[in-house]
Amino acid sequence: MKLGTKISLGVIVGGLLGIGLYLYRQSVLLQSICYDFLTITYLGTENGVAKINTALRFTNYADYPITLKRYKIDVLVDNQKVGELDAELKEVIPARGTKDLSFIATAKTDVMLQVGIQTILEQLIDQTQSVLQIKGTAAISTGIVSIKDYPIDYTATTGELLEGLKNEGESCKKIT
């Protein structure tokens, strides 16, 4: 094999190895995002649909900015869907930084009222706690690597919500 061929082959193998390591590192960095729940605010009802503003603080521990492109999230109470968040956006969470974002959830008023009254009665009369779940996915990216189904999963009982024990979401660690 000629020297030029060996050098070319070495450059190609080295380049492919470098690209592979870069893609692996970026996918690991995409997993280094955390979110805290800040506030939940009722915005009112229009045409039988209630709107609720949910504010979250995203923390990015990576050395590169992460872009949030889309989210599709369901809000469930005792495994019954009461609301949803679904939107496309382009929000950049800075490298080794935080960003507060607000999301608007929609819910059918009749379902929300029915589940809300049932939950309150169970809590007061039977002292049975309902379970609130926020489950779904988000599409995030950094560089040329993206994850289309980054999991969002938050669970709290009505007792925990009433006592304020879990209003911090994942309780993201400080950036060091």
CATH architecture assigned to 31-163: Sandwich (2.60)
- Tokens 């949030």 correspond to what residue? 68
Distance CA 71, CA 83 (A): 14
User: Structure tokens of 132?
Assistant: 């609130």
Vertex 16 angle, CA 13 and 19, to 5° = 150
Percentage above 90 pLDDT, the chain? 7
Please indicate, yes or no, whether the overall pTM of this predicted structure exceeds 0.85: no
The size of the chain, in residues, is: 176
User: Structure tokens of 3?
Assistant: 């020297």
**Alpha-carbon distances, residue 64 vs 31, 87, 141 (angstroms):** 12, 24, 10
Tens of pLDDT, residues 101-155: 988 888 777 766 666 666 666 666 777 777 878 889 988 887 777 788 888 888 8
